[in-house]
Homo-oligomer: A and B are copies of this chain.
């Protein structure tokens, strides 16, 4: 039996299907079928196979945060006290909605965050009142993203 997260082989047709749906998750299957040159039922079958393989993690609408007034993206390296259990800190970070990514990383920091705030003063507030308030956080280093130039997924 095939396990999820095992490596999977996909052919050119699968790639075309995935590329369509990666660029627009609502592309009709029949439209893909027309472009690829096989029937809708065949595309459907392939999609079920791709889903079962675990390759397709899901689908999302993507929101433009600037339109909601969120203009400041920043990366934050977090130093934790040795005594602090990382999972405990992560749990508290989850409760902060401005934190949109959280990684355990190699290197100086214990934890590395991406956060999204309305502006610099909102960023200051989140840093001082939310993140520094987590017990075990000793110090942080912040890098503001002035402009994001590339944003994409792995090439199919």
Q: Interface residues of A toward B: which range?
A: 35 or more
Smallest distance from the beta carbon of A124 to chain B beta carbons, Å?
Answer: 14
Q: Which residues of B contact A152 (CB under 8 A)?
A: 100-101
Chain A, range 20-79, C-beta contacts under 8 Å to B: 21-26, 53-70, 73, 75
Copies in the complex: 2
Q: Which residues of B contact A147 (CB under 8 A)?
A: 103-104
B97 touching A154 by the CB < 8 A rule? yes
Nearest residue (CB) in B for A86 is B149
Whole-angstrom CA separation of A91 from B73 in the bound complex: 22
Q: Which residues of B contact A154 (CB under 8 A)?
A: 63, 65, 68, 70, 97, 100, 116
Whole-angstrom CA separation of A142 from B4 in the bound complex: 29
Whole-angstrom CA separation of A135 from B113 in the bound complex: 30
Whole-angstrom CA separation of A75 from B143 in the bound complex: 13
Q: Which residues of B contact A144 (CB under 8 A)?
A: 105-107
Whole-angstrom CA separation of A122 from B92 in the bound complex: 34
